[in-house]
Amino acid sequence: MSYSLKDRTAVITGASAGIGEALATEFAARGCNLHLVARRREKLEQLARQLSEKYGIQTWIHAMDLSQPEAAAQLAAGLRQQPVTVVVNNAGIGMTGPFHTQDAGVIATMLNLNIRFLTEFCHIMVPVLKASGDTCRILNVGSVAGYQGVHNFMPYAATKAYVNNLSEGLNWELHGSNITVTCLQPGSTRSEFFDNAAMEGSFMATYDVMTSGAVARAGVTAMMAGKAFIVPGITNKIKIFSLRFTPRALLRRVIYWMFRDLAREH
């Protein structure tokens, strides 16, 4: 029997915009009740109202900063009244520019959100999902940037390499259990991320950019099928496949050219 999201309950982090908002819409369209998590309460309230009215689902909002210590434990505690069987770790931030000029505080926040929170939340939720007695899913949002070092985008790419690898390892470790882990690895995607990471107008923000909706649909479809990972978009698939045959020296030159216009200092 194929996996169904109808009448199940999911938690989605970073749900107020971009891929997170698109994921929430995809889940809601399939009849899944939602815990929506992000910093901006007003955006969450608006999205929760829209999805509830359009799809007849239940929604709960959790306005919180997931980069803060104990955020994973606090969120998990907030889910106890309406337990979940699907976990979506989408929240993340990025920043561009030469590494030595990037704001140290933003880098610390990035590490806390992109790596620490995701790790701690998975660590807390895996036993909860195992004990649920249901068939469960985890969807982590990594990136094609995590397949190699990326100059002028270095800390972000490194955090996504961690997410890609953690997700793959966790998928293997949980093989045969009631949980599957899928890593969604998008390339350039139209969202607020470009503005927040100071990428607007750059090559990466204008060439072969996918919509958040298309990325979300690919991720949800792969998750429901229990796939270990999904790279959405034919161009992105070709890029990742070609890495197997591309000498690292040549790859560095290609990456340099693609990200050269992100060298502006902040």
Interatomic CA distance for residues 162 and 157, integer angstroms = 9
The SS3 assignment for 208 reads: coil
Tell which phi-psi region holds residue 91, choosing left (phi > 0), alpha (psi between -120 and 50) or beta.
beta
Residue 3 known to be catalytic: no
| Residue 170 buriedness (CB in 10 A; 0-12 / 13-18 / 19+) | buried
Select from 46, 67, 74, 90 the least CA-distant residue to 184: 90
Interatomic CA distance for residues 27 and 116, integer angstroms = 25
Helix or strand run (H / E) with residue 86: strand 86-89
Interatomic CA distance for residues 33 and 157, integer angstroms = 32
Helix or strand run (H / E) with residue 193: helix 193-196
Selected catalytic residue, list 55, 147, 156, 162: 156
Q: What is the DSSP letter of 211?
A: E
Q: Which residues are catalytic?
A: 156
